[in-house]
Amino acid sequence: MTTTIGMTVRVVVTSGNYEVVDVKKLSVILRNKEKFKMKIIIDNRLESVCYYDGESMGGGDIDFLCSKCGEYVKHETIQFLMQSNRLDKEYKTELNDFFDTNSELLKGHKAYVGLLSCNYCGCEYAIYLGYGEVQPARYQASLISVAEI
Ligand SMILES: [Zn+2]
């Protein structure tokens, strides 16, 4: 089964596993942006809170208001994590540098960076997410920072 998620990420679902197949497209988007034009619209670095804390490694949904059209940008956490894992190293490094992801903001959370777009207006965002298995079978996710690109 092939599903279209959002406007840029296409995933193939095989026996319950998701495979992100269009990550190259995300890299092209990044390549065409000037990184210093990214503008942070959400910054929870000083007070990181979990939007998900539970037994499913799915990690709930990423959810924030589009700064351009005011609609909600909503995306499954697990798909974002897989997209992040497959993003080109070069762009991953750029995003990690931009968000300065070196410090562990919440105990047991690992930094994940990537891109999401608004389903309504197509506005693209760089995302910095914290995610981790903080105890056996207990998963947490936190939205740390979002930038317009
Ligand atoms: Zn929008």
42 CA → ligand 1 middle, Å? 15
The answer to whether residue 66 scores a pLDDT higher than 80 is: yes
- 16-32 pLDDT, tens digit per residue, is 333 343 555 566 666 66
**Ligand 1 mean position, distance from CA 66 (Å):** 5
Ligand 1 centroid – CA 118 distance (Å)? 5
Task: Look up the pTM and report it.
Answer: 0.76
CA of 68 to the centre of ligand 1 (A): 5
The residue ranking higher by pLDDT, 17 or 126, is 126
The whole-number average pLDDT for the span 118-147 is 94
Q: How far, in Å, from the CA of 123 to the mean position of ligand 1?
A: 5
Q: How far is the CA of 115 from the centre of ligand 1 (A)?
A: 14
Amino acid at 84: S
Q: Which two tokens stand for residue 57?
A: 């490694």
Distance 81 CA to ligand 1 centre (A): 21
Closest to 7 measured CA to CA, from 85, 121, 149, 145: 121
11: closest CA among 56, 54, 57, 75? 75
* Of 107 and 58, the one with more pLDDT: 58
Q: Tokens 């690992």 belong to which residue? A: 110
Cα 146 to averaged position of ligand 1 atoms, centre (Å): 13
Mean predicted lDDT score pLDDT of the chain: 80
Output the pLDDT for position 105: 75
How much distance in Å is there from the Cα of 8 to the middle of ligand 1? 14
